[in-house]
Amino acid sequence: MDALPHILTAQAFSKEFLESVFARTDEMVARGGKHYRSDALCGKKVFLLFLEPSTRTRESFAAAALALGASVRSLDNPKETMSLKKGETLSETVYTLSRYYDAIVLRQSEAYVAREAALASSVPVINAGDGPNEHPTQAILDLYTVREWHKKIDGLTVLIAGDLMYGRTVHSLVYALSLYKIKKLIFVPHPLLPLPRQVQKYAELHGIPCEETDCFWRAVPEADVIYQTRVQKERLKDEAVAADSAPKIDEHILAVTKKDACILHPLPHGGELARTALEDPRTLCFSAQEDNGLFTRMALLEMIFEQTN
């Protein structure tokens, strides 16, 4: 199976790989979802090395590993309590952890560092977000959610709005969507935070028609999927950039959104989702996306350990 055992970039995914994760997830959902339990990872130890804040990625990986019978270790403030504080490199830290644990889930603030860390590791490393670069397991749960809602991925028009420059979930999502016959990708960036050219190029090289617009309400009626993102203030030097002017989903946007469209957001959110948007049944970020984060990560962990056993 390609893309395993390390999960570093959605560019390494194939359609076959994603479909097999989705099929495994379907099985786990049918067998209880949140209540699914197995001993597939019994005796295994998973370390969650989160050097940036997280709620849903860290806790869904923890819950997934526990559901499969693994032991989980996670530190609340690793930058202060590990030898990183004394100047040890991340690669040395990951190398050391790989001598004690069976898998490492890594979140940190620098692009591409997950790849370096994986080179130092003798066990699978899962990129849980590397700075502004990628968040590949988020793309798996996002696509699974789209597939669940629309019963397909091929043929859809997907609109992606907000901070497309630093929104790492966006980059991984575009790479993963590029494996499907997407009708069109429409980008509506914050005016100062456009999609990196190479990310759009990747989709175009895979035959996906792409367009960019600053007119959110005009683009929305065509979309089958609206993927909204927050401005990643933690990556900005100039706080003024983070001020308004990002596309926002409110009652006016909801009024022109297709009745069968779904609205996704990786969370956490800022002002870009109005209360009416959060309460709209088409908005799945606090329902299906949250649940599917757990279910797809259970499937992924089980498949990773099948490859490494």
Catalytic residues: 56-57, 86, 107, 135
- Residue closer to ligand CP (CB basis): 157 or 272: 272
Q: How far is CA 87 from CA 90, 92, 118, in A?
A: 9, 10, 19
Sign of CA pseudo-dihedral 252, 253, 259, 263: negative
Minimum gap (Å) between residue 141 Cβ and ligand CP: 9
Minimum gap (Å) between residue 52 Cβ and ligand CP: 8
* Gap between the Cα atoms of 167 and 263, Å rounded: 17
Q: How far is CA 211 from the centre of its chain?
A: 22
Report the SS3 class of residue 94: helix
- Residue closer to ligand CP (CB basis): 58 or 297: 58
- Residue closer to ligand CP (CB basis): 24 or 58: 58
- Residue closer to ligand CP (CB basis): 219 or 288: 288
Minimum gap (Å) between residue 57 Cβ and ligand CP: 3
Residue with the two structure tokens 């590791």 = 121
- Residue closer to ligand CP (CB basis): 219 or 225: 225
Q: Name 296's Cβ contacts closer than 8 Å, sequence gap at least 6.
A: 21, 22, 25, 137, 140, 141, 144
**47 with 128: CB under 8 angstroms?**
no
Note the residues at the interface with ligand CP (CB under 6 A). Answer: 54-58, 129, 135, 138, 266-268
Minimum gap (Å) between residue 250 Cβ and ligand CP: 22
Nearest to 183 by CA among 216, 150, 137, 215: 150
* Gap between the Cα atoms of 308 and 228, Å rounded: 36
Minimum gap (Å) between residue 63 Cβ and ligand CP: 13
* Gap between the Cα atoms of 163 and 123, Å rounded: 33
Tokens of 192: 């100062």
